[in-house]
Amino acid sequence: MGRIVYFWMTQPPDPEHMDLEKWLQFLDELALYTLIFFGACLVASLYFYRRAAIAKKIRTPGDVFSAYTPMAWLLGTFVAGVAVLVFFAFRYHAEFS
């Protein structure tokens, strides 16, 4: 699965010192955690977006032009990317250094 999600990283960064099979196993694990974290954060973001969007009411004509802050909940999916990046940066350093 790692070769599908991360198709541009099928070769290890340092082929002389890294085993290809170990690198592909690392990519598979990275892809799995990326999809799990992204899916979980996406579901949570959509849930909180829905709750915030339902709570937004238009009571006066000026409310139509007010800021629509529930869109900020959709940025929660970036949290997944940062979490996986940090986690696997430490794993890469521990495993391949």
User: What is the spatial distance between Cα 45 and Cα 77, in angstroms, rounded to a whole number?
Assistant: 7
User: What is the spatial distance between Cα 95 and Cα 72, in angstroms, rounded to a whole number?
Assistant: 36
11 part of a folded domain: no
CB of 75 within 8 A of CB of 41?
A: no
User: What is the spatial distance between Cα 27 and Cα 91, in angstroms, rounded to a whole number?
Assistant: 11
Q: What is the pLDDT of residues 24-78, one digit of tens each?
A: 888 899 889 888 988 888 888 888 888 887 877 777 877 777 777 777 777 777 8
51 part of a folded domain: yes
What pLDDT is attached to residue 13?
83
DSSP states of 33-84 = HHHHHHHHHHHHHHHHHHHHHHH----SGGGGGS--GGGGGGGGHHHHHHHH
25 part of a folded domain: no
Domain residues for the domain of 52 are: 30-97
Looking at the structure of the chain, the number of domains it has is 1
Indicate the pTM of the whole model: 0.71
Per-residue confidence band for 5, with pLDDT thresholds at 50, 70 and 90: confident
Q: What is the pLDDT of residues 71-97, one digit of tens each?
A: 777 777 787 788 888 988 898 888 877
